[in-house]
Chains A and B, each alone.
Chain A
């Protein structure tokens, strides 16, 4: 009664907003510039088809590796600084904990001092006994490190997928050490899977000096002009292929042009330095055992490489035959660095020095990037496929068609029943039910939620559920009428007294939905989201809007009777 005008306004506003949000799903409004919402409902992979992969990231393995390296650096440094120690070891290297076994009681203080002097930002002493000092990576450092490993993996996968050209890939972190990859559309799931799983290609190539960089620049510019393309509008790998095709015959035998990102450019598209490389060296990532960040005598970061025995021999020959030339380290056709060979490098280890002129942090990042790239072919940690779900487009279309049909028939039966059983109030309830469904789709669309098959089951259920509020109200109104109250009082009391039951029922259902949302994954969360949204819209449509309609009929138009 009170504030009917105000409530009518809110009800109309709510319904209008729902329409605004739902309409782009039904009609193509992308051309209508003034329409406020362009967003469409997202369909889950189980409906539109596609590939869903969960990859486990071996974060522990990376930490383990890092701890092992830390142990050998510590040993070397302690020897250099004359700190007496018996051994440095780790029982659980994947936890990032190291134990320094001290030589004698007096040495303990020296070890502790060494750790706090040299590793104050990285390690904390967590315990000590008479014979040993235990230190561990700071939690913040370790978490940051793990997170970086995952972010880097995500970035790498994203780059590979982008190369592949999937329409709307979604690549995200799931839990502490998982990556969820969702690729809608299933055109070539097998190839996409391969792309994610393959490691990047690493090559060591000798830089040819048969053409000067200036000559190369000119030739490339001509080829770009003739072929009407450039690096910014072409995928990098395609660009390289096109440039080399265009220059075929103009370049010396067994050479190819690859590029390096210019030192001050943000991306390779923004600035690239061409290199003419010999393609006949045949020394790749398979030759490498390990790569890690080290420091030169001035403390500048560099990348240390360790070859396996076969690789060491080849590398020694290659460097021996090309003294004075540059050797390019090429990752996925991108030149990462091109140091000059000063001498034959035997013994299986080598270093990549980084170009100077930058701050230490920048160099450090680059050294880390190169070493991780070299170690696992651009993926910082090894990946393991934990879960794969693939749905073909025909299945999704079939499934949603049938589920939709089921929902329509169910809704129709309910509406007919309501009209027969509750007459005019049944008509109000049916209108409310329609608004309820409209509201669900509107909210799903605006929240950018994903509609899955279980989600459709959730909506169908909500339809059944939503009737509950109407039934509670209508039964109350009947009771009040039976007690001899007039229609106005009956309606007011009916809504009023049904409220506590409606709220209690909704709160408990909402509680289940929240628990589902928290523990569920994938489609189950979709189910929970629709359930939650259904509760909100049901309160609005079946309680608020239906009351406005009934109040308008009874109070404004003075209906003396309202069949219930």
Chain B
């Protein structure tokens, strides 16, 4: 990739490839948005409301047995999924809707009692151990969802303002665009592999926003530093030089964070596994976007600003 004309700013001409990767990013984001819109997000019970029961048996209980016994209760749609080493299951149901939220809550609670009852009774010989029960009523779910979206919105807003004040107005849109890019693609991948979006996943995506921004900011910081004193060589040169100089640092930091998330993904399970998964995916796109999306976008903004100034 190195060529003789680019030696002065470093080994790689990032800005030169920005159009290509910008296109790739655009396609990825649009594809993610379409996919999310068509397929929908599989919200977990945190957002949707419903009940989740995790139960562990001694050997010898099959998923079909569990499914059949719960289905016999006629609770509407019930999902049973095996978990861990095969003799552990997660039973999910959303509960039939009542006329009011209060009624739905009551139905949900009554259903929970029924499911617990049938499991402890029917599989008594296999020593059922109910390890976890989560029941979320409809209004709490709706509220959690609203708060979650608000959180993402305020987060982006705070970042926009901070970057605009700390650096320059032309930096802010690039940073926020890049965060949006990472969050959307990560969410799409998460949904694509069939995982459920819960409160903790939302938290993971927010952290990712923090991480990705961290990366972007460090590059911006260097751009600002190099920019003073290199005005004659043009802004394109400054950006390329900055990314090149920060490349090792970017890769090491992303790499170590990726490794710690990957270890969690391999060893832990349940919530932590899902958090680790989304962080692994997010770091990949976050690192890429801070190199190929955020910085080149600053160049674009700079050009626009320059044009405007000239026109004025």
Task: Specify whether A and B are partners.
Answer: yes
Q: What does the 1/0 interface line of A435-476 toward B look like (CB < 8 Å)? A: 000000000000000000110111011011101100110010
Chain A, 380-435, CB within 8 A of any chain B CB: 384-392, 394-395, 399, 402-403, 405-407, 409-411, 413-414, 417, 421
List B contacts of A390 (CB < 8 A). Answer: 130, 132-134
Name the interface residues of A325-353: CB closer than 8 Å to any CB of B.
none
**Which interface residue of B135, B163, B207 has the most chain A CB atoms within 10 A?**
B207
Beyond A402-B267, A519-B147, A527-B200, whether A413 also contacts B259 by CB under 8 A is yes
- The listed residue with most A CB atoms (<10 A of its CB), out of B200, B206, B222, B256, is B256
Chain B residues closer than 8 Å to A511, beta-carbon distance: 155, 158-159, 162, 210
* CB nearest to B163 among chain A residues: A508
Say whether B214 contacts A468, CB under 8 Å.
Answer: yes
Q: Name B210's contact: one of A403, A501, A509, A519 (CB within 8 Å).
A: A509
Chain A CB within 8 A of B272 CB? yes
How far apart are A420's CB and chain B's nearest CB, in angstroms? Answer: 12
Subset of 24 A-B contacts with CB under 8 Å: A384-B137, A387-B135, A387-B137, A389-B134, A390-B132, A391-B132, A395-B54, A399-B272, A406-B264, A407-B260, A414-B259, A454-B203, A454-B271, A457-B276, A461-B261, A472-B218, A501-B218, A504-B221, A508-B163, A508-B214, A511-B155, A511-B210, A520-B199, A521-B147
Q: Which residues of chain B are within 8 angstroms of A497 by Cβ–Cβ distance?
A: 225
Q: Is B87 an interface residue (CB 8 A)?
A: no
A490 / chain B contacts, CB cutoff of 8 Å: none
Assuming the contacts A407-B263, A468-B214, asked whether A523 and B271 have C-beta atoms less than 8 A apart, the reply is yes
- The closest CB in chain B to the CB of A391 belongs to B132
Of A405, A458, A505, chain B has the most CB atoms within 10 Å of the CB of A505
Of B26-34, B71-79, B227-235, B246-254, the segment with at least 4 beta carbons within 8 Å of chain A is: B246-254
Min Cβ gap B120→A in Å is 11
* Cβ–Cβ < 8 Å partners of A472 in chain B: 218, 249
Q: 8 Å CB contacts to B: which residues of A500-552?
A: 500-501, 504-505, 507-509, 511-513, 515-516, 518-524, 527-528, 531
Whether A406 contacts B135 in the complex (CB less than 8 A), given A399-B270, A505-B217, A519-B151, comes out as no
C-beta contact mask, A264-300 vs B, less than 8 Å → 1, else 0?
Answer: 0000000000000000000000000000000000000
A residues whose Cβ falls under 8 Å from a Cβ of B = 46, 54, 56, 384-392, 394-395, 399, 402-403, 405-407, 409-411, 413-414, 417, 421, 453-454, 456-458, 460-461, 463-465, 467-468, 471-472, 475, 479, 497, 500-501, 504-505, 507-509, 511-513, 515-516, 518-524, 527-528, 531
- Majority-rule SS of B interface residues: helix
Q: Is the CB of A457 within 8 A of B209?
A: no
Residues of B within 8 A of A (CB): 54, 56, 102, 105, 109, 112, 129-137, 139-140, 144, 147-148, 150-151, 154-155, 158-159, 162-163, 166, 199-200, 202-204, 206-207, 209-211, 213-214, 217-218, 220-222, 225, 245, 248-249, 252-253, 255-272, 275-276, 279
Known: A395-B54, A509-B214. A471 touches B252 (CB 8 A): yes
What is the bound-complex CA distance between A456 and B148, given in angstroms? 21
Q: Tell me the complex Cα distance, A430–B271, Å.
A: 29
Distance of B114 from chain A, by nearest CB (Å):
14
User: Hey, which chain A residues are within 8 Å of B262, CB to CB?
Assistant: 410
The residue on B at minimum CB distance from A528 is B203
CA of A389 to CA of B214, assembled, Å: 35
> Which of chain B's residues have a CB closer than 8 A to the CB of A504?
166, 217-218, 220-221
Which of A54, A402, A413 is in CB contact (< 8 Å) with B269? A402
Tell me if B140 and A457 are in contact (CB < 8 A). Answer: no
- B109 lies within 8 A of A385 (CB): yes
Inter-chain contact A403/B267, CB cutoff 8 Å: yes
Q: In this complex, what residue of B is CB-closest to A515?
A: B155
A205 to B70 alpha-carbon distance, docked (Å): 47
Q: Is the CB of B200 within 8 A of A524?
A: yes
Report chain A residues within 8 Å CB of B265: 406
- Determine if B221 and A501 form an interchain contact, defined as CB atoms under 8 angstroms apart: yes
Q: How far is the CB of B170 from chain A (nearest CB, A)?
A: 16
How far is B202's CA from A21's CA once the two chains are assembled, in angstroms? 32
- Provide the residues of chain A in CB contact with B256, threshold 8 Å: 414, 417, 463-464, 467, 471
Q: Is the CB of B137 within 8 A of A410?
A: no
Specify which of A385, A464, A528 lies most central, judged by the most chain B CB atoms within 10 Å of its CB. Answer: A464
Contact of A389 with B135 in the complex, beta carbons under 8 Å: yes
Tell whether A410 pairs with B264 under 8 Å between CB atoms, given A471-B249, A511-B158: yes
Q: Looking across the interface, which residue of chain A has its beta carbon closest to that of B247?
A: A475
- Is B207's CB under 8 angstroms from A461's CB? yes
Tell me how far the C-beta of A428 lies from the nearest C-beta in chain B, rounded to whole angstroms: 16
How far, in whole Å, are A172 and B158 apart by their CA atoms in the complex?
A: 30
Q: Are A512 and B206 in contact (CB under 8 A)?
A: yes
Are B260 and A414 in touch, CB under 8 angstroms? Answer: yes
- Please tell me if the beta carbons of A453 and B270 are within 8 angstroms of each other in the complex: yes
Known A507-B162, A515-B155; further 9 A-B contacts with Cβ < 8 A = A388-B135, A391-B132, A411-B260, A414-B260, A453-B272, A457-B264, A460-B261, A479-B245, A515-B151
User: Of all chain B residues, which has the CB nearest A395?
Assistant: B131
Shortest CB–CB separation between residue B244 and chain A, in angstroms?
A: 12
Chain B residues, Cβ within 8 Å of A407: 260, 263-264
Asked if A524 and B199 make an inter-chain contact with CB atoms under 8 angstroms apart, the answer reads: yes
Q: Is the CB of B222 within 8 A of A501?
A: yes
Contact check, B159 vs A524: say whether CB atoms are below 8 A apart: no
